[in-house]
Structure 1
């Protein structure tokens, strides 16, 4: 009799559990919900149509003597043991899994409370990006700010989720026009597939079913699914010819303008949906891979002339000239720095207990 009652109780419990309401999936927003990045065609870039009349200011700020000496010593120490960012194709399976796992670790951690309404430590980064629009887009501060933003993300992965591997970067020129065929998206272990024909929620890969709580846009916070809407006619513009067009420009601000409106904008818009949301695109974890490509192109441009790691020109969003003393901030996630600290990826300057010290595998 007693065993019969126990079985009845278990049966009742299972029956009740089967009809408990489940959390509804986050809505799939239409393409019109996402404000796309402004694109610059390669032909317009070649014609210089993005440049202001008379060009950008050409007064470049250079290190002072004492600052230069300190930078040289730190850079020498960095050169002895630099961090090397590894292109995805050469990144081991173990490293790939560790990277994806570290991102998911941040997504599982509570927010710092400094970036409401972020719901996780990962969304602290998304909200930071949303908050700082348009200060960090549409002006020459774009490249240098995103360089520090990407490095900060790497350091938080390291310090808070134990990610002690090299950071991957993605050579998009090798996948231009066929992003969806990369194993970054075809393998169920990584970022989830790229689908076209209208935004669709990501339902496979490590981030299947992810809800984005920041965005879309700058003023709204509407939970929505991580969605993509690939357009390979746009991803085809992330080609080496376009990169070379941008990198043929002789001053920082002119090169930045081409890079931001060219391969950068086409990569975001080509992946589409959440990645095309100018303010909250970091909600899609592939954001970090795309920006590793953009930072790589910036570094290659700098490699053409050593002076390009010690000078800068152009004005910020407010019309203030950028100098090597201009402050770059990530709102306390890591310390504020001067552009002089991060203009050279091999500067070796200590920031938050870590040297700013890396280069790319090629």
Structure 2
């Protein structure tokens, strides 16, 4: 299904799956360890020189291979080891070419990339947990990770600047291409069950025990008065404008299967709301953040979306818009990969490279 809450859509471009360390594979294959590791006395697997000489040693390639094997859960073949080596040669060449071109990125850009990488994980993590993942899954210190990230951003900018004109010539998807993607993936374009509601909200966060008990008594009193007809839900919505003990407003849509909503509000609250019918007014419901009295204003069953349907009620982006963006993203990715290969072909012609494939045996 494709909707804002769904994180595993088959039509979302750019989403990378798998272990965190694969982030460093996203550019040309495998980001290198700091060059100091390449300069120690070691059996050379390759010697590369564009602007300076770098010795790619057996120890470095072996470390990278073993890291990949742990993450993939299998032993890499000799051909795989050669691919690791070629990726490392490419990394050295583009690193030196970008340095020669005096490409720079700011500290703010590096931090933005860190936050983007954290957001791409399957679940939210704290700063400390993210650093631990970097250490355990990448085998890098935090400082080395930031340096590798900076290098990757510099390399990407170098490639993008070389391909800038080409990116302006990417053709827009035709209606036929959009329809073909839609029809091949029609089962993915569905809206799940969802409910929109207004609520009277009694916040329990950052309250001491006495304040929480007062909020519970107030919520119970309001719910009881609504149930007995002494007041109405809408009257209490208006009253919330002047009563600082609670607030009232439109929550928006709650979507069945939204893991983020379950985490933030609590599974019991989410499932209870989604079981209500349109027009129903609940009693007092407790979430992870406070107490709610809910009135369902719209309830929708799952349905297949058409090309010009919005992804969610009230949104401006349609299925057609999403598919168009997906196709353009795929074309941009392909152009970027083609630009990498063209750049590497040029640099390998210019550089001095000696390979020692016999040292890939261990």
Q: How would you bin the TM-score normalised by the shorter chain?
A: under 0.3
TM-score normalised by length of structure 1:
0.17
The structure having more radius of gyration, on CA atoms, is 2
TM-score normalised by length of structure 2:
0.17
Counting helix residues as a fraction of each chain, which structure ranks higher?
2
